[in-house]
Structure formats: C-alpha cells, structure tokens
Amino acid sequence: MRNGVRLACDVGSVRIGIARSDPGGLMAVPLQAVPADERAVAAVAALVSEYEAIEVLVGLPLSLDGSE
C-alpha cells in the first residue's frame, strides 16, 4: 500500500462526515462534517487539497437494517 493520507466520506442525507488517515494508513481520525448540499463536492475537494490526500473513499450509505 502506498504511503499517503486518505480521506473517507460517510455520506448521509443531511451531512457528510469526513475522516482522514495518517500517512501510513493505520489510523483514522474524524475531521469534520460538511452539509450534504450542492457545495459538498467543493468542500471535499478543498480538504483533498489541504491534506494532499492520495485517495478518497466513499462509504455506501445503508439503513440501520442494512438495506440501501
């Protein structure tokens, strides 16, 4: 696995939670939540640039019962 920061997005209907990994990819820590609106892509892109992320992972949003 390449060294470098990765961002992960937990997509919800109201907000998107963003976490970042350490460069070794061993630990992730929460960064912030951004509103899930028309500005979300720009907000995530700004974080990619700020943290020089090499990958962005997006979780599949599921209901509590596991359905999509």
* pTM for the model: 0.86
Mean pLDDT by 10 residues, the chain (68 residues): 95 95 96 97 98 96 78
| Sequence-ordered list of residues with C-beta below 8 angstroms from that of 68, at least 6 positions apart, any chain | 60, 61, 62
pLDDT at res. 62: 79
pLDDT at res. 49: 98
State how far the Cα of 20 lies from the Cα of 22, in Å rounded to an integer: 7
From the list 33, 42, 43, the residue with the least C-alpha distance to 10 is 33
Domain boundaries, the chain: 6-58
pLDDT at res. 68: 76
pLDDT at res. 53: 98
